[in-house]
Structure 1
Amino acid sequence: MRRLTTLLIAGCLPLPAPAQDAASEATRTAQAELAGRLPLDDPRDEANATRGKLAEIPGGVITGKDGAVIWDRRPYAFLEAREAPDTVNPSLWRQARLNAVHGLFEVVPGKIWQLRGYDISVMTVIHGRTGWIVVDPLLSEEAAAASWKLFADTIEAKEGRRPIKAIIFSHSHSDHFGGVGGIVTPEQVARQNIRIIAPHGFSEEATSENVLAGAAMGRRALYMFGAILPPGPRGQVDTGLGPKLSSGTIGYMEPTETVGAEGGTLTIDGLAFDFLDAGGTEAPSEFVFYIPAYKTLHTTEVVTHNLHNILTLRGAQVRDALRWSKLIDAMLLKWGGVAEVTLASHHWPTWGADEVRALLANQRDAYRYVHDRTLFLANRGATLHELADATVEAPVQASDFSTRGYYGTLNHDMKAVYQRYFGWWDGNPANFNPLPPEQSAPKYVALAGGADKLLAAGRAAIASGDYRWAAELLNKLVFAEPGNRAARDALASAYDQLGYQAESGAWRNYYLAAAASLRGNAVEAATRNGQSRSFVSAIPTAVFFDALATRFDAAKGAALNGTFQFILPDSRESVAVVVGGGVEFPRHGVTDPAPTATITINRKTLDDVMLGQAQFPALMQSGAIRIEGDRMAFLSWFALHPPADPRFNIVVP
């Protein structure tokens, strides 16, 4: 288990953190090789990314009501240079410059607009018969509000004010619904009968995805999105999928209606929308849709201008690459001959029927290649790491930038497909139950002849440009001797070069954030995202208690037995928590006839606890919680739920 210490080890790191490395000769050579074989000067994406621009937020600066900066593109002025520095993969540089274009864009004249570059995601506004239809109102309420103001100041200033008639949540990831409170209030939705339309299963998936594993996902996300890196040619440049995550308030509103698994047509403010279910591809709850009147296909996050993740670096359930490819083919068959423009929840649109068909076909082939090559090699004995390392990029990736690994990668996606079918084990019994890193690392150091020899071998690998091997060697030394400054610096140097060479924004961020952590100069996380009360209140009570059970300290609570009955008067729910044998099992909707203790508490009060606005001991003293039965047993049980420390170490023990 990782020791929950700060990244700076007290007493072990007395020297100032060393400076970040420059690009090595091996890195410069790798960058030049890639630049030489890709058509980086192809102007079509830049033309599409800038097409129809009408206005922008000055400086790309968005602040909250308290004056806190939510979004600021000024530190990214370095991206104005056309030529990539040698510390950034030239293909990723191209993608970052395209994602950096921000403003309000007209997609279909007088009918469809997009707000791009003010979050990792994109907000789309559609002209209905009597008002506006908004698709995916970004991650944070502050970013959404500023983007909507830009739209209103620019478009409504000419056309007159029109009401929002409907909001479409394309799928269950929070960067596509979290900002909804920035453009409408719950009172408006109720008073004006605003339709909120989402795919089936949305409510449960949207509010529970990160609850059970939220601490670990959140910690890894800081690395994946580069939130602990400063912007710059040697720091955070882009995520590949979009510039970065906005920081602000993540909200939630319950859909007023959902589209079933069968898809079908809905008329929304006078416009026909043809929906196709996409659940189980990029998100467990998702759809795509076509607007016949505007000959426009919205591919949500199923088709974007990069190869997506089959398994994200932050962690998630493995996605289905085979279904993903088949869903894209279904879009191609259904709309490939009629759609004249396609747009998505990330990146820029594509115009022209032929270009739309090519985009869909190439994306389909990329995901099918990932899936089929994995199983082709696995069925011939290749293991997880072998098959990914042995596979060259798909032929389509050499000519179509939309299929390149700016976010997901061919390497990581193939490993994810392998995991989906075979799990984490490669079938070799030596790897079935290996020693954990903190136990095996000292043995490797001893086998190498001591720390000095292993350090010398790692430095030699760095000097030869073999950074992957250097990282493997030096990681052993760091885990054996986490206070070894020279080992940490050398490993950070290997991570620098791996990050510089990475075409994936997520890979780059993770490598460079790891290097910054090792040096002790990771910046304070730039994101200040907080879940709003609307979001927390929407988390199902059953999920809340399941998450609470994951905090149960089984080692200390092995001897505890009992049933703790929770009664939630305001939500009219009951949960019986059965404890015994080191296991805590919540039974939602069950009332135990003879509980050890009965705890009466409003669900709203539980929300206060989840938001950090109240603590159980104080609530008990105030009478906000009523306990009947064995009060001491309840207190003993409650004490066995320590919160997880979200600052746990990743790159050191």
Structure 2
Amino acid sequence: MKKNKITTLLVGFAIVTNAQAPKQASTFTQKSNEAVYSKLNFDDTADFTDAKRGFIATLADGKILSKTGNVAVNLNDFAFIKGKSPATVNPALWRQAQLNNINGLFKITDGVYQVRSFDVANISFIETKNGYVVIDALTIGEASAAAYELVKKHVANKPILAVIVTHSHGDHYGGLEGLVAAEDIKSGKVKFITPKGFYEEAVSENVLLGNVMRRRAGYQFGLSLERSVTGQVDVGLGKPFLSGGSSSLLQPNFEVEKTGQKITIDGLDLVFQLTPNSEAPAELTVFAPAQKVFFSAEIASHTYHNVLTPRGAKTRDAKAWAGYLDEAIDLFGDKTEFIVPSHTWPVYGHDKGITFLEKQRDLYKYVHDQTVHLANKGLNKDEIAEEIKLPAELGKEWYNRDFYGTVKHNAKATYQFYLGWWDGNPADYDKLPQVESAKKYVEWFGGEKAALKKATESFQKGEYRWVAEVLKHVIFANPENVAAKNLQADAFEQIAYQSESGIWRDLYLSGAKELREGVIVPKNPVNRAAGFLATLTPEAIFDYLSVTVDGTKAAGKDVKLRFIFPELNKNILVYLKNGVLHQSQTRPNDKTEFTLTIPKAKFVNLLSNPETAREILTSDGVSFEGDPFKFRELASVFEPANPYWNIVTP
């Protein structure tokens, strides 16, 4: 077996075309950003008061180290965000970036604490007589461990009794092992509580589609960008410290199955609300009655969220989302004094909190309803996105601004949710592939030089969206046209500088960087296969392998194998037929051409390091029957994904 047949490798190469420094804001961008000051109330400082309220302590040097000694989180990276917004940043986004820069341990009310801005997400602690119940575990174990150390030092040194993960996104569960040992969760010593369907949805989003989502997330979260006034400043929800550290996905030992379900942990009463298909396919909120705290997860925070995230995911149900917020008001509103989101900062006070929930609810429902209204009038998704404008009573609230999700993007997402990608026009139904159509567009433009000349004239008029669109055709027709790439990069950059959304800024600046420098691949890319495979069930592993099958290579093959995992008492039939990989645990008597009995840990090692196959297959606890070449035949159809594919060039 060859290594590249079975494991996901980081492949690709750097293509440095024309590295150049970022440009400054154009006159048009400067005017656009300066106009923001007259549209919004920058004299309102209430958010800054709330974001600083209850501050206890933060990291002395602002750094969190990874297990290898590298800096995984450096709070100093964003120290430049102070004073008036520079011309290269939308002033509203700059304000949000300043608020998300306020980091450390905060007391919300008696017995309730939160650590913010050690990660893009927050981690909350509820103190009980004998320990803590934690809500959300951040992205990496190093960050969650640092947060816990602050709590132990400044509140009380107590053990963690339970961890509640509100939903199936990695920035809320990845750091779990920085708080508790996996063995303590498996044994039930520590409760790991999630919404029903959490594990399946986490696998679906982060494993099956993990490669493409990670690539697109690199754009959305600006992973290649410098932290600077011409680079990344914030993602709207918080600071994306994703440069290192360790994450894992563990199975919960307790699932919340219905709204209104109550549990008591060491005398702490908690009530749950299930909110599936809102911000995540599996999500819940938590109410602590004695503390009068509503933990709103991500269905309410200090920004408009995404109905469809740019990194790619299942489209969310905006109508249901608004309905859950309405339900939360009915369930918990009269008893709530504090609202604690999983991102950004808390809302203090009953009346203020209810207004916050109501206007967040109406934000999602307004864009939903108006999208459907305009679709029924015959407008397509692009036209709807240009048409919808929020009423002042919603749009002028800072927490309803487009810092993360945007009205335009969410209108298109809602259209897609109901009607799909097609707008009904036959001309858009079966269009030519983008490279082929690009060549024809350029020909119709009168050639590359003519197209570039017209694009330059448009750029000088400040028509950056049009320049970005038209130059895509030139670049996809001829990716070696450096002038076209540089001009499109300049257009992307100005759009980014004007963007209120942190992730819009990131994705445009990431596109500009790739146009100028090419796709940059690390010199020593990390093989992440073992890390994520180790946390998956065998069934999830085979689900993952099924989407790595190259259909062309698999065509005509008929292979039947059996995998037995004795310590898990699992007997799984795996067969390749009609170009599709299947698995079954209901056919234990079917004859197979190869049967492998192996502990799951060694199976993961086999998949991750197939060059050691002989050693693994002859080790203790491993046995096989039949033709091992059938295993090789199966492995031959698996195709490693390239996590560094081009986005802005063919």
- How far off its partner does 1:508 sit? 0.6
Superposed CA offset, 1:528-565 (max 9, x none):
99979786444232222122121111113322223233
Q: Which of the numbers 20, 23, 27 marks the counterpart of 1:21?
A: 23
The alpha-carbon distance between structure 1 residues 254 and 542, as it changes in their structure 2 partners (threshold 3 A), is: closer
Q: Which of the numbers 197, 203, 211 marks the counterpart of 1:201?
A: 197
Q: CA–CA distance in 1 between the matches of 2:521 and 2:393?
A: 40
The aligned residue for residue 378 of structure 1 is 375
The aligned residue for residue 175 of structure 2 is 179
Farther off after superposition, 57-66 or 353-362: 57-66
Q: CA–CA distance in 2 between the matches of 1:200 and 1:65?
A: 32
The alpha-carbon distance between structure 1 residues 369 and 41, as it changes in their structure 2 partners (threshold 3 A), is: same
Superposed CA offset, 1:72-99 (max 9, x none):
12221110x2211111111111111100
Q: Which of the numbers 363, 383, 389 marks the counterpart of 2:386?
A: 389
Helix, strand or coil at the partner of 1:516: helix
Aligned 8 A contact 1:227 1:525 in 2: no
Unmatched 5+ stretches in structure 2? 1-10
The aligned residue for residue 133 of structure 1 is 133
Aligned 8 A contact 1:6 1:649 in 2: no
Helix, strand or coil at the partner of 1:337: helix
Aligned 8 A contact 2:519 2:644 in 1: no
The aligned residue for residue 283 of structure 1 is 280
Q: CA–CA distance in 2 between the matches of 1:130 and 1:5?
A: 51
Letter in 2 for 1:174: G
The alpha-carbon distance between structure 1 residues 394 and 383, as it changes in their structure 2 partners (threshold 3 A), is: same
Letter in 1 for 2:105: L
Aligned 8 A contact 1:388 1:412 in 2: yes
The aligned residue for residue 581 of structure 1 is 578
The aligned residue for residue 75 of structure 1 is 77
The alpha-carbon distance between structure 1 residues 391 and 192, as it changes in their structure 2 partners (threshold 3 A), is: closer
Aligned 8 A contact 1:560 1:581 in 2: yes
The aligned residue for residue 266 of structure 1 is 263
The aligned residue for residue 87 of structure 1 is 88
Paired residues for 1:183-332 under 5 Å: 183-188=179-184, 193-246=189-242, 247-332=244-329
The aligned residue for residue 68 of structure 2 is 66
Q: CA–CA distance in 2 between the matches of 1:285 and 1:545?
A: 22
Letter in 2 for 1:648: W
The aligned residue for residue 632 of structure 2 is 635
Q: CA–CA distance in 2 between the matches of 1:527 and 1:338?
A: 54
The alpha-carbon distance between structure 1 residues 186 and 212, as it changes in their structure 2 partners (threshold 3 A), is: closer
Q: CA–CA distance in 1 between the matches of 2:74 and 2:423?
A: 45
Aligned 8 A contact 1:7 1:517 in 2: no
- How far off its partner does 1:35 sit? 2.0
- How far off its partner does 1:616 sit? 6.6
Helix, strand or coil at the partner of 1:36: helix
The aligned residue for residue 543 of structure 1 is 540
Q: Which of the numbers 43, 46, 55 marks the counterpart of 2:45?
A: 43
- How far off its partner does 1:133 sit? 1.5
- How far off its partner does 1:198 sit? 1.8
The alpha-carbon distance between structure 1 residues 651 and 321, as it changes in their structure 2 partners (threshold 3 A), is: same
Q: Which has the higher contact order (CA 8 A, sep 6+)?
A: 2
Q: CA–CA distance in 2 between the matches of 1:31 and 1:353?
A: 35
The alpha-carbon distance between structure 1 residues 190 and 39, as it changes in their structure 2 partners (threshold 3 A), is: same
Q: CA–CA distance in 2 between the matches of 1:78 and 1:384?
A: 38
Q: CA–CA distance in 1 between the matches of 2:366 and 2:518?
A: 40
Letter in 1 for 2:133: I
Superposed CA offset, 1:277-328 (max 9, x none):
1122111221112212111111011111111111111111111101100000
Letter in 2 for 1:635: R
- How far off its partner does 1:6 sit? 3.7
Q: CA–CA distance in 2 between the matches of 1:405 and 1:545?
A: 40
- How far off its partner does 1:584 sit? 2.7
The aligned residue for residue 455 of structure 2 is 458
Letter in 2 for 1:155: V
Superposed CA offset, 1:586-641 (max 9, x none):
3345336232333333322232256x355474556656865533443432331121
Q: CA–CA distance in 1 between the matches of 2:524 and 2:275?
A: 30
Helix, strand or coil at the partner of 1:302: coil
Farther off after superposition, 58-67 or 354-363: 58-67
Letter in 1 for 2:182: P
Superposed CA offset, 1:142-164 (max 9, x none):
011111111211122xxxx3332
Q: CA–CA distance in 2 between the matches of 1:425 and 1:7?
A: 36
Aligned 8 A contact 1:250 1:529 in 2: no
The alpha-carbon distance between structure 1 residues 220 and 209, as it changes in their structure 2 partners (threshold 3 A), is: same
The aligned residue for residue 15 of structure 2 is 8
Letter in 2 for 1:85: P
Q: Is 1:648 paired with 2:616?
A: no
Q: CA–CA distance in 2 between the matches of 1:190 and 1:618?
A: 31
The aligned residue for residue 166 of structure 1 is 162
Q: CA–CA distance in 2 between the matches of 1:521 and 1:146?
A: 36
TM-score for the superposition, normalised by structure 2: 0.93
Letter in 2 for 1:415: K
Helix, strand or coil at the partner of 1:18: coil
CA root-mean-square deviation: 2.4
Aligned-pair identity (%): 36
Q: CA–CA distance in 2 between the matches of 1:526 and 1:177?
A: 29
Q: Is 1:515 paired with 2:512?
A: yes
Letter in 1 for 2:19: A
Q: CA–CA distance in 1 between the matches of 2:553 and 2:527?
A: 32
Farther off after superposition, 262-271 or 300-309: 262-271
The alpha-carbon distance between structure 1 residues 527 and 248, as it changes in their structure 2 partners (threshold 3 A), is: farther
TM-score for the superposition, normalised by structure 1: 0.93
The alpha-carbon distance between structure 1 residues 126 and 614, as it changes in their structure 2 partners (threshold 3 A), is: farther
Farther off after superposition, 316-325 or 632-641: 632-641
Superposed CA offset, 1:182-226 (max 9, x none):
122234557893322222222322344211111100111111101
Q: Is 1:123 paired with 2:123?
A: yes
Q: CA–CA distance in 1 between the matches of 2:468 and 2:506?
A: 16
Q: CA–CA distance in 2 between the matches of 1:53 and 1:439?
A: 58
- How far off its partner does 1:28 sit? 1.0
Q: CA–CA distance in 2 between the matches of 1:190 and 1:491?
A: 52
